[in-house]
Every structure is written in C-alpha cells, then in structure tokens.
Amino acid sequence: MIYSDKVMDHFQNPRNVGTLPDADGVGQVGNPVCGDMMTFYVKVKDDRLTDVKFQTFGCGAAIAVSSMVSEMAVGKTVEEAMAITNEKVAEELGGLPKNKMHCSNLGADALHAALENFKAKAAGETAGPTVVADHAHGHEAEGAPEKCPYCEGPVEDAAGMCSCKKCDLDLVECGHCHLYTNKAETHCTHCGALLES
C-alpha cells in the first residue's frame, strides 16, 4: 500500500494529539466494521476554533487523517470548519489509497460531531459528547464486491473466487471486517486482522 509523504509525516508526527478537559464541544465517530475510533475536542472563541485536539484508535491512515483535520480546522470559523469534507482532507494529504478513503470521512465526521456538540451547548441544551456510528463505508459483506477495492476495476466472481483482471488480484473476504482484500496478503489491508489460510 503506497501512502504519500504527507500521510507518512502526519502518521509518524501527528499534530494536536490529546484531550481538552474544558472542551466546548466533543464528538466521537466509531466504525464497527474496521474498528477505527476518532474523538475530537474543540475550543471555540468568538465563533472561531482556537484549539482542536484528537484521540484516534485505528490504522496509520486514520491517525494521519485526524492530524490533518485538526490542522485544517484550527483558526477557522465554525461554519468554515463544518465545510471541511473528506475529499478536502484526502486532497490535503496528497491522496489516500481507495481502501482507506473511509478514514477521511471518519475524520471530517468526528470534527462535525464535535461542532454539533458545541452548537447544542451554545443553544443552552444539556449535551454529552456527540457520538456517531459510521456504518456506511464500503461494507461489502452482502456478497462479492462489484468493483475492486484497489483499482475500482470490475470484479469477476466465479466458483466462489473473486478476482480483478485489471490489477491481476485474487480477492478474499476478511472474516473480521467482511471487506474484500488481496488473497496474497497474510493480513487484511482494511482492518489488519489475520486472514485465514
């Protein structure tokens, strides 16, 4: 799997890691399929984000995304920060492999959840952290995928064996996350679980 230099930099040297005990908003997004969990904390003054911290449990891409989202959000108004999208995050990181694009969505969603929590508190509502469960990304347990998770090429399903002719890969369903991954790997490229031989 090839990551950009920027992704590697943010993974190895993540910015803004930690918590804000006096946060104005807290948002958490968890994905039960791949196990990634992101929590964002925001401080807001005069409608501008003065501090953003995060805690992330997940793969290198998830950590890099969280770091980038935190950098993109600091100094922005609440409205500007709400406009940060997964596409913008991936673009700032110099791209992400197709099977890791869901991480950029999780990062943006966690930030948005923290901002929604801030808005609820500002409106006088008693609000605990905003928690969002993301079930939406690429869960392909309902049979073989139509497109290859690596190159988006068509997948052929013959006699229970899935393969992509475009990138010449045999695909197998991971027993842990139920996404399709390269059969030649020992571990799932989505969730890292050991593949059964």
Q: Which of 141, 127, 156 is nearest to 28 (CA)?
A: 127
Predicted pLDDT at 184: 81
* Range from 24-33, 57-66, 177-186 carrying the lowest mean pLDDT: 177-186
Instruction: Spell out the domain ranges in the chain.
Output: 5-133, 139-197
> How do residues 126-167 score in pLDDT, each as one tens digit?
656 666 655 444 433 345 667 776 666 788 876 656 888 777
Rounded mean pLDDT, 78-95: 91
> What Rg do the C-alpha atoms of the chain give, in angstroms?
18
Number of Cβ atoms within 10 Å of the Cβ of 55: 15
Rounded mean pLDDT, 28-44: 83
- Write the burial class of residue 127 (CB in 10 Å: 0-12 exposed, 13-18 middle, 19+ buried): middle
| Options 34, 162, 164, 174, the catalytic residue | 34
Predicted pLDDT at 185: 79
- Those residues whose C-beta lies under 8 Å from the C-beta of residue 186, and which sit 6 or more positions away, are 194, 195
Distances (CA, A) of 179 to 39, 46, 113, 176: 24, 44, 26, 8
Q: Which CATH number does 5-133 carry?
A: 3.90.1010.10
Q: Which stretches within 74-128 are classed as H helix?
A: 78-82, 86-92, 101-122
| Options 103, 148, 162, 177, the catalytic residue | 103
pTM of the model: 0.66
Predicted pLDDT at 166: 79
Query: What is the rounded distance in angstroms from the CA atom of residue 34 to the CA atom of residue 182?
Result: 16
Predicted pLDDT at 37: 86
Q: Which residue has the tokens 């930030």?
A: 111
Among this protein's residues, is 177 annotated catalytic?
no
Among this protein's residues, is 34 annotated catalytic?
yes
Query: What is the rounded distance in angstroms from the CA atom of residue 60 to the CA atom of residue 12?
Result: 8
E strand residue ranges, 97-195? 130-133, 155-158, 161-164, 169-173, 180-182
Query: What is the rounded distance in angstroms from the CA atom of residue 21 to the CA atom of residue 143?
Result: 44
